[in-house]
Every structure is written in C-alpha cells, then in structure tokens.
Amino acid sequence: MAKELKDLTKRSENYSQWYNELVVKADLAEQAPVRGCMVIKPYGYAIWEKIQRTLDDKFKETGHVNAYFPLLIPKSYLSREAEHVEGFAKECAVVTHYRLKNAEDGSGVIVDPAAKLEEELIVRPTSETIIWATYKNWIKSYRDLPILCNQWANVMRWEMRPRLFLRTAEFLWQEGHTAHATREEAEQEARRMQQVYADFVEGYMAVPVVRGVKSETERFAGALDTYTIESMTQDGKALQCGTSHFLGQNFAKAFDVQFINKENKLEYVWATSWGVSTRLMGALIMAHSDDNGLVLPPKLAPIQVVIVPIYKNEEDLAQISAKVDTLVEALKKKGISVKYDDADNKRPGFKFADYEVKGVPVRDHAP
C-alpha cells in the first residue's frame, strides 16, 4: 500500500473506535435516529443475506422448517416462566397504547390517553413464550412430535450500551424452537445445532470458535444447559457468536404443553431453542479486518472480484471494456460475483482505496 488510509483509526490506537469507524466507512451500517438502532446498508445487508441463505439451507438439511410468530407478546406470557422473566423483564420495550392524536396546541401528535391497552404488549426480546403458548395447541400426541421450527425475525432488547452489529437494541436473527418427546432427543438437538453453528462460522465465515457450555450465571434465562460457540476479537476478548439451549420441560410446564406418549400417559414436552444474530457480522469484522479496512472471506463477500479500468481516453475505455466484458461473463458463469467499475467520476486511486476498505477479496486493474 503506497499510501496509508488517512482516516481509519488504527487498531493499536483504539480498537473499539477502529471498529466503529470501519463499520461506517465500509458502508455496512449507520446509526439510526433511535438510540441503539441501526440502518443496515445494502453492502452490509448483502453479507447478512449470504449468511442467512447458507444457514437456512443448513437448517432445512437438518429437517427444520420456517414459520413466523408475532412481534408483540402479551405481557402476562413473559411472567409464566419464572427464570425467563427474571432474565428478560428489565430490558423490554412495552406497548401501552394503540393510537395517537393531534395535540390541541398544534405541537404535533401525542399519545391518546383514551387508547390505553387493557393488557400491555411486549416487543419480543425472544419468542419462547409466544411460541410455547402456540405449541400448546399444536401438540396432543407423541405423533405430533418432534416440531422443528425456525423463524427469521427481528427482536428488541433495550440495551444500555449499544454498538453497531455487536449489540443493538433491535437486531435480526433466527430462532429455532423445537419440541421433543424425550429428554435425550432434545439434548441431542441442542448439541447438533451448536455443531451446525460451529461448522458454519468456521467453514463460511472462516472464524475459529470454541465450543462450550455456559456457566450457570451466563446460561439463558429458563434453560437447563446453554451450548455456546465463542470467537475471539483482536483485542483478546471472547465474543458469543451463537447459543443453543436445552430448555428441559421448563416452558412446557409454564405453558402446560403435554402430550400422550406411546404408553398412553400424559407427559411434558422437551424443548430446545437456538439462535444466531446480526452479531455474526460483528464477529466477522472483528476476526479478520485490519488497519486498511474490511477483510471478507470470499464465500460471504458481496463482491468477490472488482475490476478497475485504467485509461487515457474514451477509445481506450471502449477497448478495455470489450475485453473485460468477456472476462466478467466467464467469471459469472463460474458463479463468481464480479463488479466492473467503469464509473468515470472517480479516479482509479480512489477506487482502489475504497474497495480495500470494503474488503473486496480480489481487486485488480485492467491496463
């Protein structure tokens, strides 16, 4: 690199500032007007889409199906499972009214006091409660089991100290929620999904992880065991990348979900839940990127190859473009995403620097 990137803070100077700047400069995301919320920009979302697509395939391969459960949860549901409410109650957003009206002094809209909800609604911090309230209706017999559902959704936790991708108030994730007839089967499922996560993070994100079990204090609120995969950041901290919980019969008991087993006896259902979130984006950035910008593994890079033409005049450009076009076609046939950046309002030097910050794996110039 002939010239240093003038404005990206070095990791050695201030690691967390480096991270914050990189996320913005690489065009991945930006702060939203609402504290703790982020706008995921197209370049960042393209990475998330690849993560999503790959994981979704892996879930389907392991027998899971997608469904969707609602954003809002009756407040009373959250208090059904004692440990669960202990763990989540403090950080929830609450819907108390359903209507706004014009202020009489013309200062805008205000909450209409007449539109107060009888039972307040919680914006889901996670969906165990609403899902188990639903599973109660779905499960009668051992023949209804197992249920292997996943949902892609947004959730909200009112975090005290948000950071783009790593800890935002609203974040995107998937949450698997499975119901089983036996303890062994549920435990096996929880461990299997931990392995699916580990394989994905290592195989596609190229981020090494440690597989482990959470201590009692770090365990998911309501779980008997929490299996975790943890990556490392470059300042030597562990980052929780994904968790898979063996929930025992806690939620089945809280929501009274029983089934009749082969011996014609009533029994509580065994449960798991497991999730990874847009935090994976944070893990990806933290693991590979450097003082020159983002470093993306080719499997997840939205643009895998970028070609920048160098030319003196229109005639040159036409000749270069003709050659590059055939090259681009050939690469596309191989399933490689190529960008030919012939924009004439940026000079080559700018493009080289820009694509380096954005972490395009192969950057080349066409003479």
Partner RNA sequence: CGGGAUGUAGUUCAGUCCGGUUAGAAUGCCUGGUUUGGGACCAGGUGGUCGAAGGUUCGAAUCCUUUCAUCCCGACCA
Q: Which is nearer to RNA, 139 or 190 (CB)?
A: 190
Binding mask 42-71 for RNA (x = CB under 7 A): ------------------------------
CA distance 176 to 128: 10
- Which residues, 5 to 24, sit near RNA by CB under 7 A? 5-8, 16-17, 20
Is 357 an interacting residue with respect to RNA (CB under 7 A)?
Answer: yes
How many other C-beta atoms can be found within 10 angstroms of the C-beta atom of residue 129?
A: 27
By C-alpha distance, which of 197, 193, 198, 196 is closest to 208? 198
Is 157 an interacting residue with respect to RNA (CB under 7 A)?
Answer: yes
The phi, psi pair for 296, rounded to 5°, reads -110, 140
- Which residues, 178 to 217, sit near RNA by CB under 7 A? 217
Q: Which is nearer to RNA, 20 or 258 (CB)?
A: 20
User: 34 by DSSP, 3-state: which?
Assistant: coil
> How far apart, in Å, are the Cα atoms of 150 and each of 99, 200, 203, 221, 228?
32, 17, 22, 19, 18
Please list, in sequence order, all residues whose beta carbon lies within 8 angstroms of the beta carbon of residue 304, skipping any fewer than 6 positions away: 298, 336, 337, 338, 360, 361, 362
Is 128 an interacting residue with respect to RNA (CB under 7 A)?
Answer: no
CB of 188 to RNA, least distance (A): 21
Size of the site for RNA (CB under 7 A): 62
CB of 339 to RNA, least distance (A): 15
The phi, psi pair for 178, rounded to 5°, reads -120, 150
Stretch that binds RNA, among 60-68, 197-205, 240-248, 254-262 (CB under 7 A): 240-248
Strands 170-180 and 210-213: unpaired
Residues near RNA, by CB under 7 A: 1-3, 5-8, 16-17, 20, 25, 31, 34-36, 87, 90-91, 157, 159-163, 166-169, 171, 173, 217-218, 220-221, 228, 240-243, 275-279, 292, 310-313, 344, 347-350, 352-354, 356-357, 363, 365, 367
